[in-house]
Amino acid sequence: MSSGNDCQPQTLTKPALGEKEVTELVDRVFGLKVFWIRPLPSYDDQNFHVRVSRNEGVAEGADEYVLKITNSEDSQKPDLIEAQTQAMMFLSAEGFPSATPYLTKDGNVMSLESGDTGNKKYMVRLLTYLPGTPVAKIATNTQIFYEIGKLAASLDKALSEKFHHPSVKSLHRGQFIWNLANVPLLDQYIYALGQTKYREVVEQVIEQFKGKVIPKLSSFRACINHGDLNDHNILVDSTPASLENPQYRVSGILDFSDMSYGYYVFEVAIAIMYMMIESPDPLSVGGHVLAGFESILPLTEVERGALFLLVSGRFAQSLVIAAHTALRYPENKEYLMITAKTGWKHLMKMFEVGQEAVEKTWFETAKAYTNHAPA
């Protein structure tokens, strides 16, 4: 869930191209004939699932792609989009299930194109379509939570240790609203919650974050974060070990638009928060995700001590920014409020149960894996 401007949740920049314009664009920029096209949901970019045929009108041999039309604010940051795209190509080469760009007629990974209205320009990319089912649409189990934790650590480790493209400097995004370090920036959007019990809890999260997390940032281990390993951005396929308990494998990692420099512990906190959304037993989820993460990269005591507030901070970011943006863009409210349906319930429950009890559950679950690690 990216934002248009680094310190604004969403500005009036979302593209609104029609299917006819998109069909013409794919032909003009990429030299491909569209066989069919379907819109995909998006926070503030415009995405289409596109099937193309090398021979016009012939379905056989068709290829599937995602056409990503970036909002006009982010389109003014070509270095940032270059870094995201190069990171995807790097990860694919490293064996991660990441999309790769189909090059333009000019041999580039992206192209700046005129938009639907006025003089706005949008960066356009055609990315390979990844098969699989979003985690949001499966009956989750502890095995997939462990795998996602493992993925979060492996992905950040690979990016931080081996990804050295010149554009990487653009990932220093100081005021980026979705970077977990910037939970205090939510102060300016909290009005969107009105005077409610929810607002009281979020204010508590922000104050505790300022006092207990911000002073510790310098002792966390820095890395490049994907930043949005949510239940819609991870695709899986399954091998039916049994109908009751299928074994899942990650088949796709989507949406690198929230990439930024951060810390390893941020990534595991973000993954825990989003996997809680998809579980009937949300407070237990953290231990399984943490165990997977620590099978690759054990956290330090200081990092572990911040985990509860980091997970709470991500809930606050997601819920406050969605409420703020839904006020401004009611037509996109249904998509914006996906997480809010259960998110508020989980955040309130975390604070009701309390940090000590929640951490005890997480850490004991993770510890059990050290004796019985999954195959």
Q: Is the pLDDT of residue 375 over 50?
A: no
The pLDDT of residue 111: 96
Region 168-176: mean pLDDT is 94
Q: Is the pLDDT of residue 132 over 50?
A: yes
Confidence of residue 4 (pLDDT cuts 50, 70, 90): very low
Q: Is the pLDDT of residue 371 over 80?
A: no
Region 102-112: mean pLDDT is 96
Confidence of residue 140 (pLDDT cuts 50, 70, 90): very high
Region 20-29: mean pLDDT is 94
Q: If you average pLDDT over each of 12-16, 20-24, 353-357, which comes out highest?
A: 353-357
The CA radius of gyration of the chain, in Å to the nearest whole number, is 21
The pLDDT of residue 10: 47
Do the Cβ atoms of 274 and 232 come closer than 8 Å? no
The pLDDT of residue 2: 44
Domains of the chain: 19-128 (3.30.200.20), 133-371 (3.90.1200.10)
The pLDDT of residue 355: 97
Predicted confidence (pLDDT) per residue in 285-344, tens digit: 999 999 999 999 999 999 999 999 999 999 999 999 989 988 887 776 776 667 677 899
Who wins on pLDDT, 278 or 292? 292
* Distance from C-alpha of 117 to C-alpha of 16, rounded to nearest angstrom: 9
Q: Is the pLDDT of residue 3 over 70?
A: no
Contacts of 187 (CB under 8 A, 6+ apart): 206
Q: Is the pLDDT of residue 57 over 70?
A: no
Do the Cβ atoms of 91 and 98 come closer than 8 Å? yes
**Average pLDDT, rounded, for the chain:** 90
Q: Give 112: exposed, middle or buried? Use CB within 10 Å, 0-12, 13-18, 19+.
A: middle
The HSE-up count of residue 15 (CA atoms within 13 Å, CB side) is 32
Do the Cβ atoms of 125 and 77 come closer than 8 Å? no
∠ Cα 248 1 228 (to 5°): 45
Q: In the chain, what percentage of residues exceed pLDDT 70?
A: 90
Predicted confidence (pLDDT) per residue in 195-223, tens digit: 889 999 999 999 999 999 999 999 999 99
Q: How far are the Cα atoms of 50, 217, 222, 271, 317 from residue 311, in angstroms, in the given order? A: 36, 15, 18, 9, 10
Region 78-100: mean pLDDT is 97
Predicted confidence (pLDDT) per residue in 240-250, tens digit: 665 667 899 99
Q: How many residues are listed for the chain in this entry?
A: 375
pTM of the entire predicted model: 0.91
Q: Is the pLDDT of residue 8 over 70?
A: no
Contacts of 24 (CB under 8 A, 6+ apart): none
Q: Is the pLDDT of residue 68 over 60?
A: yes
The pLDDT of residue 44: 78
Residues marked active site are found at 228
> Whose CA is closest to 172, among 112, 224, 248, 230?
224
